[in-house]
């Protein structure tokens, strides 16, 4: 059995380019395919936001999106299905 810090389930680490998450590469791909100042600025802003989330907040991108979802919709969710309620 594996003991210590690493376990067999810790095999899906996120892809990174140095310290930057690989999700930040998508806007830079847009800069390469459609070079303009606007796409360059968007890529800078997206990279800065992702670095802030990863380094300062110490969260993954999916955990950050989940936190935003909870913040917008609240923790308590309704169990009623609106389409079934309207069909009655």
Q: Could you read off the pLDDT of 13-67 as tens digits, one per residue? A: 778 877 777 888 888 999 999 999 999 999 999 989 988 988 888 888 888 889 9
Residue spans of the domains in the chain: they are 20-75
Cα 27 from Cα 47, distance rounded (Å)? 8
Tell me how far apart the alpha carbons of residues 24 and 4 are, in angstroms, rounded to a whole number.
32
Task: Note the pTM of the prediction, 2 decimals.
Answer: 0.65
**For residue 30, what pLDDT is reported?**
92
> In this model, does residue 1 exceed pLDDT 60?
no
* 52-82 confidence digits (pLDDT tens): 988 888 888 888 889 999 999 888 877 777 7
């Amino acid at each position: 059995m594996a003991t210590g810090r690493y376990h067999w389930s810790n095999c899906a680490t996120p892809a990174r380019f140095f310290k930057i998450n690989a999700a930040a590469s998508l806007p830079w791909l847009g800069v390469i395919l459609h070079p303009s100042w606007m796409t360059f600025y968007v890529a800078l802003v997206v990279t800065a936001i992702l670095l802030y989330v990863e380094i300062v907040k110490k969260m993954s991108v999916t955990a950050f999106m989940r936190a935003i979802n909870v913040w917008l919709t609240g923790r308590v969710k309704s169990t009623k299905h609106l389409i079934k309620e309207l069909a009655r």
